[in-house]
Amino acid sequence: MSDVIVKLPDVVANQIAAGEVIQRPASVVKELMENAIDAEATKIKLSIKDAGRTLIYIEDNGKGMSPADAVMCFERHATSKLKTAADLFQIATKGFRGEALASVAAIAHVELKTKTEDSIEGTKVLMSGGRMDSKEACSMNKGTHFSIKNLFYNVPARRYFLKSDNVEWKHILEEFMRVAMVHPEVEMLLENEGQKEIHLMPSNHRQRIVKLMGNKFDEWLVPIEEQTDWLRISGFLAKPEAAKKSRGDQYFFVNGRYVKHSYLHHAIQTVFQGLLKEGTFASYFVYLEVDPSLIDVNIHPTKTEVKFQDDKAVYAILHAAARRSLGMHNIVPTIDFNQEGNITTPVWGNSEVKIPQVQYSPDYNPFGKETPKRDVVNEWLLMQAEIHAKVQSIPEQLNWKDEAGWEQSDIQPMQVFKRWVVFEYNGEMWMVDQGLAHRQIQFESWLSKDWKWSGQQLLTPFQFEWGQQDKVSLLGAEHELRSMGFDWKIEEDMVQLLAIPNVDFGWSWERQFEEIVQQWENGYERMNNDREMMAWLAAKQDAIRAGQMLTVPEMKDLVVQLLQCENPFFTPKHDKIIFKMSEKNIQQFFAI
């Protein structure tokens, strides 16, 4: 039998590695910007064409590389950050794997120009498909310039799976903002198609966040601070007014590195319980500094995940710091531990404080005669029989039929937790989400109406002050929104709404515009068209909410109307409206 195992060629190995590290143009932006930060750059310029497909150009004024390093940096696992395995537990830089540049060079045409401060001339290296085409001297100032052209040119399948230009541009902007937020001391310039998009001058963290998120955040940011022997927490929480229906404005940075951490997110989200509208998420910008030996950043190829040696301790400290931060700014009630003296009891008039009396039975003996055990099962059966008898005595009956042919039934629904309508039908227990049910009814009602889109100009433009991400979301839905009759223009941090649709949904289009854009970003791409999306938003206005009490006739009417809908079981967002469970399934819960 012949040997079948062979060593992969370097070009193929690099392309495989690129599949893990370089997922889209934004991945290249992240790696190159982090390299510039590690090179101690004080100024970074990023230029994008065709959402990164055609060109990603980045230049910095950092330390630069020697001629030998300019070639070596494209080799796999070539890094200046690690010497031994022990160094993995003392990582204080962003890049350390030595995979990024090798991966980029394997799937693009790369031009590198670099020069150190003590070099007379710079070095220019051309790479394509993982191979070096040329190396020569060039004239330039200290720093490094990268030109990444024709990304995925030799991996057409990867290029095919890229999203639209607006989506890819949004991802690029996100990576730019993540690096910019954690390094406010660095001047940064972002250009798109030759036009300046963002120019950030050196500042502090608060100023950098406000510049990126919009001036309105200056009023919303609440500082968070905590210092222990091994952990330092700083940054800002945003007041409930800044909450959004998407999770876009939530940032964790650990030792200067952006990370995703659902456990720590929960620590902050629970602090905001009861303060946010249903379906919205708190915004925050939190920086954690911890001893590198107490974390592992080597658990994910893109380095967006970290593992703490003691997750629970970090959670507890972060939760306490966030709670105290909101309390100090009167956002949530807090105890004043600085108050001196005993807690006082208010006394009205000249009345004396009465000592509470404890009532008890002197004849009670817990060790006396044994109390007979209750027959809980029989009690429950008797109670059900009594309820059934009462239900049978109610003269009002209801006949339900669906397309499959509902049989005549005497159904008496009940409301559970002021949210679900529950009833028994044909040997099954049905649970109907009252909020989604009524919204689905309203949705199909709006969808059946004959309305067409056209725009009407506003006499006075309506102005919004939006951050960079909001404006990108607006551009992402530009085609659909303009076809509906919206018109606007963007100037710096301001969005001016010039025209609105002429369809009357019973709301203010100007006030609703921001939510429409956010909702479009938050999963409405699964709907078939803009008519469905707007009908679903319109249905929200008058829909029954969770927590609203319903009478029996109202519950009956709700379910009857729902079952007459074209799709009574799922919303256009694919949320389940009706849940059914058989008696056999219920019995399994009580099986020992």
Per-residue confidence (pLDDT) for residue 481, from 0 to 100:
79
**C-alpha angle 530/531/534, rounded to 5°?**
80
Tokens of 256: 């200067």
Beta bridge mates, 420: 416, 433
Q: What is the rounded distance in angstroms from the CA atom of residue 318 to the CA atom of residue 225? A: 9
pLDDT digits (tens, 9 = 90+) for 146-166: 999 999 988 888 888 888 888
342: helix, strand or coil: coil
Q: What mean pLDDT comes out for the span 164-173?
A: 87
pLDDT number for residue 285? 95
Q: Who wins on pLDDT, 79 or 282? A: 282
Mean pLDDT within 463-486: 76
The answer, as to whether pTM is greater than 0.85, is no
Closest to 553 in 3D by CA, of 455, 412, 399, 428: 412
Tokens of 572: 């256009």
Domain with residues 399-592, CATH architecture: 2-Layer Sandwich (3.30)
What's the pLDDT band for 299 if we cut at 50, 70, 90?
A: low
Beta bridge partners of 45: 59, 189
Nearest to 27 by CA among 99, 91, 79: 99
Q: Which residue has the higher pLDDT, 575 or 50?
A: 50
pLDDT in tens, 306-354: 888 888 899 999 999 999 998 888 775 444 444 443 433 334 344 455 5
Say if CB 147 and CB 55 are below 8 A apart: yes
Sheet containing strand 195-200, edge to edge, reads 131-138, 122-128, 109-115, 143-149, 55-60, 43-49, 187-192, 195-200
Write out pLDDT tens, residues 540-572: 777 888 788 888 888 888 888 888 888 888 888
Most confident of 231-245, 301-315, 452-466: 231-245
- The residue whose two tokens read 């593992």 is 307
Q: Which of 435, 440, 433, 497 is nearest to 465 (CA)?
A: 497
Q: How far apart are CA 517 and CA 32, in angstroms?
A: 31
pLDDT of residue 19: 53
Helices (H) and strands (E) in the chain, counts: 18, 23
Instruction: For residue range 513-532, list pLDDT tens digits in order.
Output: 777 777 666 555 455 567 78
Question: 164 versus 507: which is more confidently predicted?
Answer: 164
Q: What is the CATH number of domain 10-202?
A: 3.30.565.10
In this structure, is the dihedral angle defined by the CA atoms of residues 30, 34, 36 and 41, taken in order, positive or negative? positive
Class of domain 207-328: alpha beta
Higher pLDDT, 96 or 44: 44
Joined tokens for residue 101 = 């540049």
Can you give the pLDDT at residue 209? 93
Q: Which sequence spans correspond to the domains of the chain?
A: 10-202, 207-328, 399-592
